[in-house]
Amino acid sequence: MAKFNQYQAFVTAFELGSITKAASMLNLSVPAISKQLNQLEQTLNVQLFLRSHKKIEASAAAKQFYPECKAILEAVNQVEAKLIDTDNRIAGSLKITMSQSLARSVVMQSIHQFAAKYPDVQFTIIYTDDVLDLHDQALDFAFRLGTLPDNSSLYAKYLFDVNLMACATPQYLASCDPIQSFTQLGGAKFILPNQLNPNGDVKQFLNQQQFDFKQSVAHFVSDCTAVYDMTKNHLGIGLMLDKNIENEIERGDLVSVLCEYHLPRKNLHLVSKKANWQSNTHKAFKAFISERLSS
CATH code linked to domain 1-87: 1.10.10.10
Q: Can you give the pLDDT of all 295 residues of the chain as single tens digits?
A: 558 889 989 998 998 888 888 888 788 899 999 999 999 999 999 999 988 776 789 999 999 999 888 888 888 877 776 666 565 678 888 999 998 888 888 999 999 999 999 999 999 898 888 888 887 778 899 999 888 877 778 889 999 999 999 999 999 999 999 999 999 998 999 998 877 766 678 888 888 999 988 888 888 888 888 899 999 999 999 999 998 898 999 999 999 999 898 888 889 999 998 876 678 899 999 999 999 998 6
pLDDT tens per residue, range 15-53:
888 888 888 878 889 999 999 999 999 999 999 998 877
How high is the pLDDT of residue 248?
93
What distance lies between CA 146 and its chain's CA centroid?
14
Q: Name the CATH topology of 163-264.
A: D-Maltodextrin-Binding Protein; domain 2 (3.40.190)
Cβ-contact 279, 84 below 8 angstroms:
yes
φ, ψ of residue 256 to 5 degrees: the values are -75, 140
Q: CA quadruple 167, 172, 173, 179: dihedral positive or negative?
A: negative
Indicate the pTM of the whole model.
0.69
* Region(s) of the chain under CATH 1.10.10.10: 1-87
Rounded Cα distance between 220 and 260, Å, is 25
φ, ψ of residue 213 to 5 degrees: the values are -70, -20
* Region(s) of the chain under CATH 3.40.190.10: 163-264
